[in-house]
Amino acid sequence: MKFKFNINLSASMQRILSVARKEIRQLMRDVLTMGFVVGVPAVQLLLFGYAINQDVRNVRTAVVDHSNSYISRQLIGQLEATQTFRICKQLDSDEKARELLKEGDVRVVVVVPPDYTRSYYRGRGAEISILVDATDPILARAVRASANGLMDKHNRRLQSFDINVGESALRVPRERTTFGTKPDLVRQRFLRFSVINLYNPELRTPVFVVPALLGVILTTTMILMTALSIVRERERGSFEFLIATPVSRLELMTGKILPYICIGIIQIVIVVFTGLLLFDVPVAGSLIDLGVVSLFFIAANLTLGLVISSVTASQFQATQLSFFFFLPSVLLSGFMFPFGSMPAPAQWIGETLPLTHFIRAARGILLRGSSLFEHMGEIGAMLLFSVILFGLATRLFKKRLD
């Protein structure tokens, strides 16, 4: 009995190994799958390990220096030396600075009052206003921490100088001194930053996440459903029937994506109103503007899905390729990490992703109240993406038909 059991076990192992060898041979023939197995982990590790950075750096900052003195310019240089701020605009108008902040061109505005230098030297203290786009709580907290760190360092240096001046004043007759007999004036030359959080004063995370989450949900569903649609037709054997009909390539592809546009609109309505009701996300702009931007974003994702469906032969391959695109979209678009803190090559890749432009527009419209015309650059980028990929999908589809 034991001998028979050993024979059966040996035969079973041989059959298992035969099936395993057959599966390995099939995988080796599947170039796309082997590319995912070998190449994708290495590429993603290099890309994301280099690009992902939770440290807030190089925040686009506009400066309104009404004082325009040596002391104020020195302060601005100290702000930029923290590496948190990157001075990209020098303005002379508070209104223009706020407009740039609303449009998303800058994330921080530093306002130096006209009497900054005079107040500083006369011992009345000096206060600098810092306006922060707090739609990103991580960025807002980092800006406040950096400003407070600079303020503490500056004031400690003055306090040390104050003690030395005070001790010297004790050795100088009162009638022969000016500032020496009044060390309190030196003590009042302390720097103060007034950090004002705009658009999300309570620094609530749902306010930051929900508008971007709308784009992430649309990216996942639109790409995957469209990528699977044509591949599913091939696997079911109904694709040949579609080819035999008088429907042109353009008509076939347009008809394929129209239902998913409707599905995308339904998802937009669900996510927006759920965010409003459950998470109390403010709506500072127009929901119609958000809907228009969303349509361009849906079109961009659907055309990408068409390209994927045109180059894959199975639903498994289409799913793999869809998620290969999904991960960079989430990590390099500014959804999870500050976009400006990423290295320049990672930002270049992020600029090619539709999700990057949608997140900017959605947060701008919902949270800052910006208009559709202020986001024409984002719309243009998504439109260009759609046109290029739709043309590519049509060309690839023609080759597959031939």
Q: What is the pLDDT of residues 10-21, one digit of tens each?
A: 777 777 777 778
Tens digits of residue pLDDT in 194-238? 899 999 889 888 889 989 999 999 998 899 888 888 788 777 766
Residue 104: phi and psi, rounded to 5, are 85, 5
* Mean model confidence pLDDT for the chain: 80
pLDDT given at position 294: 94
Query: Can you state the angle between helices 354-363 and 287-311, rounded to 10 degrees?
Result: 170
CA distance 293 to 301: 13
Q: What is the pLDDT of residue 377?
A: 92
**Class of CATH domain 59-198:** alpha beta
**What pLDDT sits at residue 173?**
42
Q: What angle do CA 251, 303, 355 make, to 5 degrees?
A: 155
Q: Give the model's pLDDT for residue 229.
A: 80
Tell me what pLDDT residue 36 has: 67
Residue 386: the pLDDT is 93
The ranges of the chain annotated as CATH 3.40.1710 are 59-198
Q: What average pLDDT values come out for the chain (402 residues) when binned by 10 residues?
A: 58 76 74 67 70 79 89 86 89 89 90 83 75 90 90 71 44 40 48 87 89 91 86 73 70 81 90 86 90 94 90 81 84 83 84 94 92 92 94 74 52
pLDDT tens digit string along 261-289? 889 899 889 988 888 888 888 888 899 99
Whole-number Å distance between alpha carbons of 40 and 31? 13
- pLDDT at residue 118, as a whole number: 79
Burial zone of 113 (CB within 10 Å; 0-12 exposed, 13-18 middle, 19+ buried):
middle
pTM for the model: 0.79
